[in-house]
């Protein structure tokens, strides 16, 4: 099975405290810790496991600048065979539709039986997979948490739905699936593994190679535009307990007792 | 102004809570134009939902087909593309169904798409100013969306105050006759129900809930000891289940269980909407997090900026010695 997995380099939400720049137009990016989008890691692991079972090849693709090469190499160190970087100044400020349009260009340069994306990334939209599938006119399912290869025509997949329930579907190949966390346990990649793929060449394709016209992508093609960042005021805010650890613990125990939180 | 539609999700003949939330959101965008509810399904359940929804929407489109008995997003998408007039604005709930349907539908309608909208900030002609969140809820953004050629807007469940229903006495219009071919490359097989665990956290009065801040599997023991000392049941956020450190039946959230405790102690949990979406009944909530900017502090009653790996053992010791 020929599998393409779309991956993204994102600021790590668990590792960073986000601050906004002076005019509110962006976050301060200087000291951010970046990593591969959490969901994408599960998608790459799943692709590798499928190829281990039924044969084939895994290609990882990223839309981004040269910094994204680092996440492609990381995923290749996991076991993806090939990497592909889609980079062009004209791609900057694309909305979800623009990113899907760029990826479509890359998909059409190959022959893939299965395309995987993460269920969502740092912007929390979860849109690129579904858009790309619709552009390619292939079946789509989101939030996939199990994949069983039935034959070379179809898969049996599980989708996560509300309340811990799961929805089982049969889906025809070629298709596109967005992968939910927990579908597998992504393997660990050490420095050694990354060194091994350090010199593997990763082709870079721009809008000319992908046959993408300027009006379809970038800020010119975006129907949805981010205007600013701000810190949300969502609730009344907690009463913060301060002091030494001992004082905090005492105060907390007192509060818990009063509210029935200690038996 | 384009025609505005709201897609109604339902189960067992009962409309989802989002039916009235979308009515409220749509009213904000519609600025006086009538909003139409679209209900797809089959049989008596569909009839019941249409009748109920007509109390909040002036017009309800009933779309009936055996192929729509279960809401398979690929089939629903085909139906909507066939029925909705060009340039329509459609509101969907941003739940596991809306996430499945919205992006692809927007492409097929050649419409703009905005995911997980938490508020409508302004309507200026055919430009909407909407509020979204990024980075797991740590920051919000305003986005502008040009809806001149139509739009699909996924609205986060629970953020819009539901429209008061009862007044609309809406008209039910049967649109089933306009449906064409609904075949799709994805077939629904069955729903597999969640596994039941050894403790039923949905019945617990006091929950100690741990998140990714627990850092390591071996630290789970610390939480088990604290829960024991408190007389609380142990719950967790999703990453803990993904890592297989605790069983799925302890996961709180939209894709886990909905809990209604009196006291909820959140340890090393950032406060994503998918997690907090499973905490109901306004418990007394205490959050402990090392990041003073963690979104959970906006929802909790009491907050503590601390390392849970240091605080938990201290707390256990003090409770035991009391
Ligand atoms: C469709 C869908 C459904 C989902 N369903 C659910 C669901 O049902 N339930 C759920 O929980 N999530 C769900 N999620 C995931 C959700 O979006 C978040 O990713 C998740 O809730 C984050 O869990 P967390 O808060 O434990 O981890 P993080 O967001 O990583 O937060 C960890 C927090 O711990 C703090 N921390 C780290 N170390 C320490 C320390 N030593 N001491 C104190 N604090 C520390 C950090 O500052 C951070 O705030 C779902 C996602 C999707 C897309």
Q: What's the complex ipTM?
A: 0.96
Q: What pLDDT score does B76 carry?
A: 98
pLDDT at residue A14 greater than cutoff 90: no
CB B134 within 8 A of CB A232: no
Cβ separation B258–A238 shorter than 8 A: no
Mean pLDDT, chain A, integer:
95
Nearest CA in chain B to A254: B319
Please state, in angstroms and as integers, the Cα–Cα distance from residue B220 to each residue in A112, A214, B255, B274, following that order: 42, 52, 22, 22
Q: Would you call A189 helix, strand, or coil by DSSP?
A: coil
pLDDT at residue B111 greater than cutoff 90: yes
pLDDT at residue B322 greater than cutoff 90: no
In a domain? residue B214: yes
In a domain? residue B193: no
Tell me which of B4 and A31 has the higher pLDDT. B4
Tell me which of A147 and B34 has the higher pLDDT. A147
DSSP string, B219-254: GHHHHHHHHHHHTPEEEE-HHHHHTTSS-GGGBBST
Contacts of A29 (CB under 8 A, 6+ apart): A11
Q: Are residues B170 and B215 in the same domain?
A: no
pLDDT at residue A202 greater than cutoff 90: yes
Q: Are residues B46 and B166 in the same domain?
A: yes
Cβ separation A248–B293 shorter than 8 A: no
Is B100 exposed, middle or buried, given 0-12, 13-18 or 19+ CB atoms closer than 10 A?
buried
CB B41 within 8 A of CB B69: yes
Please state, in angstroms and as integers, the Cα–Cα distance from residue A81 to each residue in A55, A73, A74, B27, B37, following that order: 12, 10, 12, 51, 48
Secondary element (H or E) of residue A5: strand A2-6
Query: How far is ligand 1, taken at its centre, from the CA of residue B294, in Å?
Result: 10
Is residue A171 within 8 angstroms of chain B, CB to CB? yes
Cβ separation B113–A224 shorter than 8 A: yes
Mean pLDDT, chain B, integer:
95
Pocket mutation for ligand 1, best pick of B255, B304, B311, B313 (most atoms within 8 Å of C-beta): B255
Q: Are residues B124 and B160 in the same domain?
A: yes
User: Dihedral through CA A170, CA A174, CA A180, CA A185, nearest 10?
Assistant: 100
Q: What pLDDT score does B1 carry?
A: 66
In a domain? residue B246: yes
Q: Are residues B167 and B78 in the same domain?
A: yes
The domain boundary residue, chosen from B112, B145, B178: B178
A236 pLDDT band (50/70/90 cuts)? confident
pLDDT in tens, B197-234: 889 999 999 999 999 999 999 999 999 999 999 999 99
How many whole angstroms separate alpha carbon A147 and alpha carbon B245?
22
Q: Are residues B24 and B158 in the same domain?
A: yes
Look at chain B and report how many structural domains it folds into: 2
How many whole angstroms separate alpha carbon B92 and alpha carbon B102?
7
In a domain? residue B172: yes
Q: Are residues B253 and B118 in the same domain?
A: no
- Residues A18-35: what's their mean pLDDT? 91
Judging contacts by C-beta atoms under 8 Å, the chain B residues touching residue A228 are: 141-142
Which CATH number belongs to the domain containing residue B209 in this structure?
3.40.50.1220
pLDDT at residue A31 greater than cutoff 90: no
In a domain? residue B301: yes
Q: Are residues B127 and B74 in the same domain?
A: yes
Q: Are residues B102 and B248 in the same domain?
A: no
Range name among A83-87, A212-216, A255-259, B118-122 with the lowest pLDDT average: A212-216
pTM, rounded to two decimals: 0.96
In a domain? residue B244: yes
Q: What pLDDT score does A235 carry?
A: 66
The domain boundary residue, chosen from B146, B178, B210: B178
Range name among A152-156, B137-141, B219-223 with the lowest pLDDT average: B137-141
- Residues B126-143: what's their mean pLDDT? 95
Nearest-CA residue for ligand 1 atom 14 is B274
Tell me which of A19 and B1 has the higher pLDDT. A19
Beta-bridge partners for A179 = A118, A144
pLDDT in tens, A45-94: 999 999 999 999 999 999 999 999 999 999 999 999 999 999 999 999 99
Pocket mutation for ligand 1, best pick of A14, A43, A245 (most atoms within 8 Å of C-beta): A14
Domain containing B238 equals: 201-321
B33 pLDDT band (50/70/90 cuts)? confident
Query: How far is ligand 1, taken at its centre, from the CA of residue B213, in Å?
Result: 8
Pairing of strands B14-15, B127-134: unpaired
Q: Are residues B84 and B121 in the same domain?
A: yes
Q: Are residues B266 and B138 in the same domain?
A: no
pLDDT at residue B160 greater than cutoff 70: yes
Range name among A212-216, B11-15, B152-156 with the lowest pLDDT average: A212-216
Cβ separation A232–B137 shorter than 8 A: yes
CATH number belonging to domain A2-221: 3.40.50.620
Find, among B82, B144, B148, B155, the residue nearest to B115 by Cα: B155
- Residues A220-246: what's their mean pLDDT? 89
Please state, in angstroms and as integers, the Cα–Cα distance from residue B172 to each residue in B63, B80, B198, B225, B306, following that order: 10, 17, 46, 57, 56
Q: What pLDDT score does A227 carry?
A: 96
CB A54 within 8 A of CB A70: no
Q: Are residues B248 and B160 in the same domain?
A: no
Is residue A137 within 8 angstroms of chain B, CB to CB? no
Q: Are residues B149 and B45 in the same domain?
A: yes
- DSSP alpha helices (H): ranges in chain B? 18-30, 43-53, 73-83, 96-108, 220-230, 238-242, 273-276, 296-299, 308-321
- Residues A210-234: what's their mean pLDDT? 90
Q: Would you call B47 helix, strand, or coil by DSSP?
A: helix
Is B292 exposed, middle or buried, given 0-12, 13-18 or 19+ CB atoms closer than 10 A?
exposed
Cβ separation B113–A131 shorter than 8 A: yes
Which CATH number belongs to the domain containing residue B81 in this structure?
3.40.50.620
């Amino acid at each position: 099975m020929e599998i393409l997995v779309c991956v993204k380099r994102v600021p790590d939400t668990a590792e960073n405290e986000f601050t906004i720049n002076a005019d509110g137009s962006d976050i301060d990016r200087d000291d951010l810790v970046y990593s591969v989008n959490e969901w994408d890691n599960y998608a790459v692991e799943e692709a590798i496991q499928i190829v281990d079972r039924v044969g084939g090849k895994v290609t990882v693709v990223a839309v981004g600048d040269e910094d994204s090469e680092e996440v492609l190499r990381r995923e290749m160190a996991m076991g993806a065979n090939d990497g592909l970087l889609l980079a062009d100044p004209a791609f900057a400020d694309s909305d979800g539709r623009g990113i899907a349009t760029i990826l479509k260009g890359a998909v059409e340069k190959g022959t893939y039986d299965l395309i995987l994306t993460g269920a969502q990334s740092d912007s929390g939209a979860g849109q690129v997979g579904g858009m790309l599938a619709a552009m390619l006119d292939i079946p789509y399912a989101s939030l996939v948490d199990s994949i069983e290869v039935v034959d070379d025509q179809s898969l049996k997949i599980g989708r996560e739905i509300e309340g811990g329930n799961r929805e089982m579907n049969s889906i025809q190949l070629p298709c596109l699936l967005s992968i939910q966390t927990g579908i597998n346990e992504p393997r660990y990649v050490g420095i050694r593994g990354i060194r091994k793929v350090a010199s593997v060449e990763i082709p870079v394709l721009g809008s000319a190679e992908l046959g993408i016209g300027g009006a379809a992508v970038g800020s010119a093609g975006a129907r949805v535009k981010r205007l600013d960042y701000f810190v949300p005021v969502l609730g009344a805010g907690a009463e913060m307990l301060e002091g030494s650890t001992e004082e905090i613990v005492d105060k907390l125990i007192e509060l818990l007792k009063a509210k029935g939180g200690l038996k | 102004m384009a025609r505005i539609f709201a897609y109604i999700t339902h189960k067992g003949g009962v409309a989802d809570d989002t039916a009235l939330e979308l009515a409220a959101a749509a009213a904000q965008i519609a600025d006086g134009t009538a909003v139409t509810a679209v209900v797809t399904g089959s049989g008596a359940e569909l009839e019941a939902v249409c009748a109920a929804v007509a109390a909040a929407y002036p017009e309800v489109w009933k779309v009936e087909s055996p192929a729509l008995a279960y809401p398979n997003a690929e089939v629903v998408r085909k139906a909507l593309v066939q029925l909705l007039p060009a340039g329509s604005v459609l509101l969907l709930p941003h739940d596991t169904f809306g996430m499945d349907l919205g992006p692809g539908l927007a492409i097929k309608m050649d419409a703009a798409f905005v995911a997980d909208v938490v508020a409508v900030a302004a309507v200026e002609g055919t430009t909407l100013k909407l509020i979204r969140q990024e980075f797991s809820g740590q920051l919000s953004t305003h986005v502008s969306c040009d809806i001149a050629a139509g739009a699909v807007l996924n609205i986060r469940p629970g953020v819009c105050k539901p429209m008061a229903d009862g007044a609309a006495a809406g008209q039910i219009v049967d649109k089933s006759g306009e449906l064409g071919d609904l075949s799709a490359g994805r077939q629904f097989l069955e729903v597999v129900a969640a596994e039941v665990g050894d403790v039923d956290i949905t019945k617990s009065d006091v929950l100690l809930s741990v998140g990714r801040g627990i850092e390591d599997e071996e630290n789970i023991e610390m939480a088990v000891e604290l829960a024991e000392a408190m007389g609380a049941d142990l719950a967790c956020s999703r990453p803990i289940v993904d890592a297989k450190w605790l069983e799925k039946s302890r996961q709180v959230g939209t894709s886990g269980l909905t809990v209604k405790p009196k006291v909820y102690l959140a340890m090393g949990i950032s406060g994503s909407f998918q997690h907090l979406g499973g905490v109901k009944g306004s418990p007394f909530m205490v959050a402990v997090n090392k990041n003073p900017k963690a979104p959970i502090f906006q929802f909790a009653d009491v907050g503590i900026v601390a390392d849970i790996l240091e605080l938990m053992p201290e707390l256990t010791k003090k409770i035991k010695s009391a």
